[in-house]
Amino acid sequence: MKQTFNLIATAAAGLEAVVGREIKDLGIERQVENGRVRFQGDITTVAQTNLWLRAADRIKIVVGEFPARTFEELFQGVFALDWENYLPLGAKFPVAKAKCVRSKLHNEPSVQAITKKAIVKKLQSYFHRPEGVPLQETGAEFRIEISIHKNQAMVMIDTTGESLFKRGYRTDKGGAPIKENMAAAIIMLSNWYPDKPFIDPTCGSGTFCIEAAMIGMNIAPGFNRDFAFEAWPWVDKELVEAVREEADSKANYDIELDIMGTDIDSRMIEVAKNNALEAGLADVIKLKQMRLQDLKTDKINGVIISNPPYGERLLDDKAVDILYNEMGQTFAPLRTWSKFILTSDENFEQKYGTVADKKRKLYNGTLRVDLYQYFGQRVKRSEM
Ligand code: SAH
């Protein structure tokens, strides 16, 4: 079986650079592209990136890339790849996804079917199985994906399984949760450090608070879940266990954190508490019911991250206008605090009353949103 792999970490549009930085911080050379980051490594690298990347969606092995303008070219291209180095006899290998963009081949179901056929043929010939007799697919699953972009095919095996944003701590989510990897990315984009106070005044199910606590304690985001590659028969379980153990040893549970989540809805506070409990962080995160309009603090140099209701989602337009206006008034006295507000409302700044220092375009699922960034004025307590 293969020792080193060409790998990609996929990322939501706008978060590629964040994922790129995380990979660099693991000590791995990487190349940032649209929607993904490329790197190379062995099975330890696969384990490390699945376990540690907070902002990525999935880690995939790139089996090969080749031009595919016709079905024949596609078939031959897939057939030529060294599938025998990945798929043992008995492997389950659904071609789960095909995506064609700006290419001659655009019928995705056909692309999927041809890809499957070519892999089957290759394995039948490699394992000396009679043609026409289907391969038994009763073993571990290797989920295959193919994308054809401008007539260039890329064939991949997913190593992750359920997307990386599923950390395993969510018991319930309320009406409009933010994805865990997006929340982590926004915290990493903010200027929060574990020594600063952190508040999410519209915390809903608690995602930002939980992700901040995991970052603050250096807890690997994947510690509570499994990954698809762990079921592959040729993967050395001891190597993977060593990566998990190393991750456990790197967590710092003793660090003092000041993380608080508040929400107007007491039911959401219950949900957030359950999620924090599930993540093992119930003692670390303060959660309480409160209107954001009532937020006051004497603390300095903190960070507020808020994902308030948007018009399309939870509140009617008028109520949103009033809420954003009151938010502006409530946050204004907190001069030394940085504020990061994620909303799809293009007139947010006008309603809030201040122009953002910086804006960043992101996608919350398919919804285009902006992260409005207001940087706090740095002061020492003696100057207050
Ligand atoms: N990021 C959250 C989702 C936030 S949805 C998550 O991951 O789950 C917006 C939240 O704002 C809702 O939970 C809603 O109850 C809360 N909210 C609405 N108006 C509020 C107000 N005036 N003060 C505090 N919270 C408010």
Quote the domain boundaries for residue 352: 180-220+252-374
What average pLDDT does this structure show over 224-252? 97
Residues 49 and 19 in one domain: yes
Give per-residue pLDDT as tens, 177-214: 899 999 999 999 999 999 999 999 999 999 999 999 99
Report yes or no on 383 lying in a domain: no
Report yes or no on 15 lying in a domain: yes
- Between CA 275 and CA 271 the distance in angstroms is 6
Which of 28, 38, 49 minimizes the C-alpha distance to 7? 38
Number of independent structural domains in the chain: 2
* Under 8 Å between Cβ of 227 and 161: yes
Ligand 1 near 176 CB (within 6 A): yes
- Between CA 85 and CA 6 the distance in angstroms is 13
What average pLDDT does this structure show over 245-260? 97
Ligand 1 near 261 CB (within 6 A): no
Give per-residue pLDDT as tens, 57-103: 999 999 999 999 999 999 999 999 999 999 999 999 999 999 999 99
Report yes or no on 203 lying in a domain: yes
Residues 109 and 68 in one domain: yes
Least confident residue range of 165-169, 241-245, 315-319: 315-319
Residues 190 and 286 in one domain: yes
Report yes or no on 14 lying in a domain: yes
Query: 149-178 b/e with 16+ CB inside 10 Å = b?
Result: eeeebbbbbbbbbeebbbbebbeeebebbb
Ligand 1 near 263 CB (within 6 A): yes
CATH number at residue 196: 3.40.50.150
Distance, first Cα to last Cα, the chain? 63
Report yes or no on 17 lying in a domain: yes
CATH number at residue 148: 3.30.2130.30
Residues 139 and 198 in one domain: no
Residues 148 and 78 in one domain: yes
Q: Specify the pLDDT at position 376.
A: 97
What average pLDDT does this structure show over 33-50? 97
Q: Residue 229 contacts by C-beta under 8 Å, 6 or more apart in sequence?
A: 43, 46, 47, 50, 159, 160, 235
Residues 100 and 138 in one domain: yes
Ligand 1 near 308 CB (within 6 A): yes
Residue 384: band (very low, low, confident or very high) from pLDDT cuts 50, 70, 90 = low
Ligand 1 near 204 CB (within 6 A): yes
Does position 148 have pLDDT exceeding 80, yes or no?
yes
Residues 154 and 188 in one domain: no
Residues 197 and 84 in one domain: no
Report yes or no on 244 lying in a domain: no
Give per-residue pLDDT as tens, 308-356: 998 765 567 788 999 999 999 999 999 999 999 999 999 999 999 999 9
For residue 292, which atom of ligand 1 is closest to its CA? 23
Q: Which of 263, 325, 341 to mutate to test ligand 1, by most ligand atoms within 8 A of the CB atom?
A: 263
CB atoms within 10 A of CB 131: 8
- Between CA 202 and CA 127 the distance in angstroms is 57
Expressed in angstroms and rounded, the spacing between residue 16 Cα and the centre of ligand 1 is: 27
Residues 200 and 317 in one domain: yes
Report yes or no on 174 lying in a domain: no
CA angle 271-277-281, nearest 5°?
A: 120
* For the chain, percent of residues with pLDDT exceeding 70: 98
For residue 290, which atom of ligand 1 is closest to its CA? 24
What does the block give as tokens for 302? 């903190």
Ligand 1 near 343 CB (within 6 A): no
Expressed in angstroms and rounded, the spacing between residue 335 Cα and the centre of ligand 1 is: 23
Residue 176: band (very low, low, confident or very high) from pLDDT cuts 50, 70, 90 = confident
What average pLDDT does this structure show over 146-162? 98
Q: Specify the pLDDT at position 232.
A: 98
Expressed in angstroms and rounded, the spacing between residue 373 Cα and the centre of ligand 1 is: 19
Which of 131, 130, 145 minimizes the C-alpha distance to 61? 145
Expressed in angstroms and rounded, the spacing between residue 332 Cα and the centre of ligand 1 is: 20
Residues 356 and 258 in one domain: yes
Expressed in angstroms and rounded, the spacing between residue 309 Cα and the centre of ligand 1 is: 6
Which conformational region is residue 10 in: left (phi greater than 0), alpha (psi within -120 to 50 degrees), or beta? beta
Cα–Cα separations (whole angstroms), residue 186 to 45, 309, 372: 24, 17, 11
Nearest residue (by CA) to ligand 1, atom 20, is 264
Q: Specify the pLDDT at position 173.
A: 76
E strand segments, 183-313: 198-200, 259-263, 285-289, 303-306
Q: Look at 224 and 384; give whichever has higher pLDDT.
A: 224
Ligand 1 near 251 CB (within 6 A): no
Instruction: Give the pTM.
Output: 0.95
Report yes or no on 241 lying in a domain: no
| Bridge partners of residue 157, in order along the sequence | 61, 144
What does the block give as tokens for 328? 């502006």
Residues 190 and 256 in one domain: yes
Ligand 1 near 182 CB (within 6 A): no
Q: Specify the pLDDT at position 317.
A: 79
Residues 67 and 125 in one domain: yes
